[in-house]
Chains A and B, each alone.
Chain A
Amino acid sequence: MPLFYEKKQLVSPGDLLAEGDYLSGESTYKENEKIYACRLGLVDYEGKRVHVVALKAFYIPMPGDIVIGKVIETTPGGWVIDIKAPHLARLRASDVVERGFKPETTDLPSIFDVGDLVITKVVEYDRTRDPQLTVREPGLGKIMRGQLVEVTPTKIPRVIGRQGSMVGMIKKETGCQLTIGQNGLILISGRNADDERIAIKAIRKIEQESHTSGLTDKVTEMIKKEREAIDSK
């Protein structure tokens, strides 16, 4: 049962990762008891599970995920929303309008119009049907202010950190509100532009150095330096 790469080594599609009694995890595939990588990324092992943390991938919806999307069309029954997944997502009008929804009388564009950005949650998705969304929960709905940052969806866990340590730190240090969409879009809204700018810089740093360890401390340091630079002005 040999393993052919060490942890955090860079592999490309088709590289043989392991042979024998192993389980194929994310961004890998198994053929004839051999596990190969199917994306460019860093290898990782967890017990018998071999997986690759892809350096670039696209978002695959999972029920329960909070995602940030853009309204691209209003239809008689609801909205079509782009959540940066292979399929366009649907948001039903009956999900938003409390009672007495009538397609002929309710003015849907007055609720969400084309181009609006919304924070939503994935209700269901199974590849055979388009993802269904909901906004019927606190914290969901139209985005009124703030700035959006886009990162590769596979790096979202790193932005969140262990038990939310990374986001918690950024929120505390910059005083910004962060809403993380699992599809790689992050909404930042702070009291002023400087706070937001620092938070964006922190996220960019996490994205670029996601493979290094002790990142939370590095980012904290960077934020403090930035803050000092602004305060001294």
Chain B
Amino acid sequence: MTASKKKTKKEQEKKSAKKSETLVDKKGIRLDGRKVDELRPVKMEVGVLPNADGSAYLEQGRNKILVGVYGPKEAHPRHIARQDRAVIQCRYHMAPFSVDERKSPAPSRRDVELSKVIREALEPAVFLEYYPRTSIQVYIEILQADGGTRCAGITAAALALADAGIPMKDLVVACAAGKAGGKIALDLMDTEDKVGEADVPVAYMPNLDAITLLQMDGNLSTDEFETAVNMAVEGCKKLYEVQKEALKSKYVIEEETEQ
């Protein structure tokens, strides 16, 4: 039994390694036609939900994410309130129809973990000490998932927070890099993430040059890790420009049509 299990495991590893090799072809082109250091096409929009205090919609490749922000307002239940600062309540949630196989709408272990990780990535950017005893609620809804949703979620959540008029040190922007097909690649999509060797999500505040989230899933050498982080930061900087543009365009278009 154990022998056969070992064998199948070995076979699987071999198989996945073989499969992984096909992720990037000889010319350095990936499955979806991107180069290794290329981002997926992104689209961002703010103020899409009139009922929320702030909101944002983001598309990154086949990812579709909607974020609503409320607050700062009285914290409920009362005991979560902190006397010296505001608390961020963050919910990352995947819609049942966001993946191939229906996902149970109940928060899974993964959802709870990502909610915490995203909250901690956003906290350094927000001036929480200005509004003690209140809570800021961030609801991240994944409508369609295609890998890298935690990063896309952070990018969209930062936009929604800024749209709500909550004072922030800087916008947080996140992007992943990883290893697929033996090469370090930027902004992994679902297949590359699952079949590939490693995934390194990074959340970053470009103006302060500070990283607020850094995770790694898989195996990388020290050099590879460093290249991946640098690549992710470069990706973040590109996304940051799109983010700023999205935030401003809500008002700039109004100005133009008026005149």
Residue positions of A touching B, CB distance < 8 A: 10, 12-16, 27, 29, 36, 38-40, 54-58, 86-88, 127-128, 152, 208-209, 211
Across the interface, do B134 and A86 meet the contact criterion of CB distance under 8 Å? yes
Q: Are B169 and A38 in contact (CB under 8 A)?
A: yes
Q: Which of A14, A39, A40 has the most CB of B within 10 A?
A: A14
Chain A residues in 8 Å Cβ range of B168: 13-14, 38-39
- Identify B170's interface contact among A10, A14, A56, CB under 8 A: A14
11 pairs across A/B with beta carbons < 8 Å? A10-B251, A13-B170, A14-B207, A14-B208, A39-B165, A40-B247, A40-B248, A40-B251, A55-B251, A86-B131, A208-B254
A15 touches B207 (CB 8 A): yes
Would A13 and B134 count as touching, CB distance under 8 A? no
- The answer to whether A86 touches B73, judged by C-beta atoms less than 8 angstroms apart, is yes
- Report which of A39, A54, A86, A209 forms a contact with B258, defined as CB distance below 8 A: A209
Considering the chains assembled together, what is the distance between the CA atoms of A128 and B134 in angstroms? 11
List of A residues within 8 angstroms of B171 by Cβ: 12-14
Q: Smallest Cβ distance from B165 to chain A, in angstroms?
A: 4
> Given contacts A14-B170, A87-B74, A87-B133, is CB(A36)–CB(B207) below 8 Å?
yes
A128 touching B132 in the complex, CB below 8 Å, given contacts A36-B207, A58-B72, A86-B72: yes
Q: Roughly how many angstroms separate A208 CA and B258 CA in the complex, as a whole number?
A: 9
Find the B residue at minimum CB distance from A10.
B248
Nearest-Cβ distance from residue B255 to partner chain A, whole angstroms: 8
Q: Mark B219-253, 1 if CB is under 8 A from A, else 0.
A: 00000000000000000000000001001100110
| Residues in chain B near residue A127, CB distance under 8 A | 131-132
Q: Are A14 and B205 in contact (CB under 8 A)?
A: yes
C-alpha gap A166/B135 in the complex (Å): 36
* A29, B258: Cβ atoms closer than 8 Å: no
Question: Which residues of chain A have C-beta atoms less than 8 A from B73's C-beta?
Answer: 86
The bracket for how many chain B residues form the interface is 20 to 34
A/B pair count, beta carbons within 8 Å = 76
Q: Does B24 contact A (CB under 8 A)?
A: no
Q: Which residues of A contact B134 (CB under 8 A)?
A: 86-87
**Is the beta-carbon distance between A13 and B165 smaller than 8 angstroms?**
no
Interface membership of B28, Cβ < 8 A: no
**A55, B249: Cα distance in complex, Å:** 12
B97 at the interface (CB under 8 A from A): no
In the complex, besides A54-B165, A86-B73, 7 extra interface pairs with C-beta distance below 8 angstroms are A13-B168, A13-B171, A14-B207, A38-B167, A40-B251, A56-B165, A209-B258
Q: Which of A13, A27, A29, A57 has the most CB of B within 10 A?
A: A13
A103 to chain B, nearest CB (A): 23
Residue of A nearest to B134 (CB): A86
User: Which residues from chain A contact B133 at a C-beta distance below 8 Å?
Assistant: 87
Give B72 Cβ to nearest chain A Cβ, in Å. Answer: 4
Give Cα A103–Cα B258 distance, bound, in whole angstroms.
55
B154-173 interface (Cβ within 8 A of A): 162-165, 167-171
In the bound complex, residues from chain B placing their C-beta under 8 Å from that of A208 are: 254, 258
CA distance A14 to B255 in the complex (A): 23
A56 and B247 alpha carbons, distance in the complex (Å): 12
Q: How far is the CA of A27 from the CA of B208 in the complex (A)?
A: 17
A88 x B132 contact (CB < 8 A): no
Cβ B167 vs Cβ A39 within 8 A:
yes
Which residues of chain B are near A14, meaning CB under 8 Å?
A: 168-171, 205-208
A209 CA / B73 CA spacing, docked (Å): 29
Of A13, A87, A88, which is within 8 A of B162 by CB?
Answer: A13
Chain A residues, CB < 8 A from B169: 13-14, 29, 36, 38
| Set A16, A27, A88, A128: member contacting B167, Cβ < 8 A | A27
Q: When the two chains form their complex, are residues A12 and B258 in contact, meaning their CB atoms are under 8 A apart?
A: no
User: How far is the CB of A125 from the nearest CB of chain B, in Å?
Assistant: 12
CB proximity of A222 to chain B, nearest CB, Å:
13
Contact of B248 among A12, A56, A88 (CB under 8 A): A12
A56 — which chain B residues lie within 8 A by C-beta? Answer: 54, 163-165
B83 contact set on A, CB distance < 8 A: 128
